[in-house]
Chain A
C-alpha cells in the first residue's frame, strides 16, 4: 500500500470521563473509499469529529498527508484539504442554497465557480433550488447540499457521516452513485460512516467495524460482506 493520506494511530477520545474512542487505528490511502460501520453509539461520528479536532484526541496521533494534525485548531485542519459532511447535515437553514455552497469555499479562498458547476452537475436538483432557503429543502436535498458544500473547498479527503440516513432508497442510491463517481473521476479519497452497511461495503474498497469505541474487524468490502458475524450484526442476517 502507498503511504496513507490519513493515518489515525491509537487514538482515544473522551467526553468528560466517558471514553468514546479507546485506541482506534485507521488508515486511508489516497484514492480509496474506506467505510466505517458500527451500531448506534459505537463512536463513528466521534471518530470523524476527532479527525477535525473537535473533540480533540486525548492520546494517539492523527496524520494527514504526512503532517501531524492532532493538535491543530479545527479551522486549520479544515483548510488543509479535509472536508466533512457531518452527522445531521448541519446546513445553514436561513441561508440560501447558493450561500451555503459559497460558505464551503470561503475559507480556502479559492474561486467558487468551478465548485458550483461541479455541485450542480453532480446534483442538478440543487441548481433548481439555488435561491431557496436551505432550511426549506427536503431531507434528501439537504444531504446533497451538505455533500456539495463539503466539496466546494476541493478537499483531498472527504469525511461523510451517514449520508443515507432517513432518505428514501432511491435518493440514497443517487448519493452513493455520486460518491462513486467522484472517487473514480477525480480520485477523491473518502472516509464514509454508514449504518447502511450493505450498500457501504459494496461501495467501499475497505472497511472497519467499530464496536463501543474499538475497531474489532477490518478488511476489504468484499471480505467483510462475506463474514457471517458481520452479516448477523450489521446486515440484518441476509
Chain B
C-alpha cells in the first residue's frame, strides 16, 4: 500500500512533465495538422537553457532556492520560446500549402539539427547538477518503508498546476485563445474574419515551446542529469501521451501525460525497470491500432 502510494506520487510528478510537453504536440497538430517531431528537442533545449541559467545564477551567487528556480524558469521559457518561433519560421512556414509530408520531413530534419547543435556547442557528455532543492516529508510509514514526498516533487506539481491554470485561462478566456481555437476549427474562416493566421500559428509554437521549457526545467531539477539526446525518448513518450489523450485535445494531453507517467512508474516498480520504455511504446501502438482518436479526441470529421 505504502509502496503503491509512493509510486503514485512519483508517477504524477513524472506525468506532469510529459503532460506539459504533450500540450505542445497537440496544439500544433490541432492548428496546422502536423506532428512537430522537433518538439522533443525543443524540450531538450529548454533543459539546457535552464542548466545554463542555473549555473549562471547560482555561481554568480545572485539567488538560491525558490527565487533562483523562478528566474531560471522565466529565462528558459523566454529563450526556448524564441527557438520554437524560429523553428516554425524557418522550417515550417515556407512549406505551408506544400504537400502534406513536407513539413513532417522538415520537422525530422529540424530535430536532427537541434540535437547536433547542442551536441557540438555543449558537448556530448552527460551534464549533472548539484541538487538545488533538497528535503521533503515522510507522509506515511509502513514497517521499514517510508513514503516520501520530496520538496522537488511538490514544486513540480504546484508549478505545473499553476502554469496549466494560466494556460487554460489563456485558451478559454482571452481573445488570443479564441483566435487560436478559431484557427484550429477553420483557419480559412478565421482569416475571413480578419485574423492574422500566420501570427496565430507563430504564437502557438511560442506557447508550446514555453511549456516545453517548463518541462525541461522540471526535468533538470528532478533528475539532475541531461544530455543532448533526452529530447528523443521524452519526446516520444510525450507524443504517446498526446495520442493517448486524443491528439488535438488539450485536456487529453494532460490526462495522457499523467497516464503515461503513472504507467511507466508502476511498470518499473512492479515489473521491470529495463523495459520501462517498452511500456510507453506498447501503449502508443495499442492506442493507434484500437483507439486512434484517443481518450478525449474527436473522430476526425472531413472538413468541407
Contact = CB atoms under 8 A, between A and B. Distances in A.
B162 interface: no
Given A88-B304, A99-B178, A106 B185 contact: no
Main secondary structure of the interface of A (DSSP, over half): loop
A78 B175 contact: no
A49 B243 CA distance: 36
Contacts of B182: 92, 95, 103
A103 B185 CA distance: 12
Interface residues of A toward B: which range?
A: 20 to 34
Contacts of A84: 192
B191 A102 contact: no
B194 A54 contact: no
Contacts of B186: 90, 92
A88 B189 CA distance: 11
A153 interface: yes
A94 B196 contact: no
A92 B189 contact: yes
A82 B182 CA distance: 19
B192 to A, nearest CB: 5
Interface in B185-202: 185-186, 188-197
B181 interface: yes
A52 to B, nearest CB: 6
Contacts of A52: 192
A74 interface: yes
Contacts, number: 61
B194 A94 contact: no
A75 interface: yes
A76 B194 CA distance: 6
A94 B192 contact: no
Interface residues of B toward A: which range?
A: 10 to 19
B185 A78 contact: no
Interface string B261-304: 00000000000000000000000000000000000000000001
Contacts of B194: 75, 78-79, 106-108, 153
Nearest to B190: A103
B248 to A, nearest CB: 11
Interface string A74-98: 1100110001101010101111000
B192 A78 contact: yes
Interface in A38-70: 52, 54
B185 A93 contact: yes
A74 B192 contact: yes
B198 to A, nearest CB: 9
A149 interface: yes
Contacts of B179: 103, 106
A90 B195 CA distance: 15
Nearest to B188: A54
A74 B185 contact: no
A103 B193 contact: yes
B178 A78 contact: no
B76 to A, nearest CB: 32
Contacts of B181: 92, 94-95
A88 to B, nearest CB: 6
B194 to A, nearest CB: 3
Top 6 closest pairs, chain A to chain B, by CB = A107-B194, A78-B194, A90-B189, A79-B194, A74-B191, A92-B185
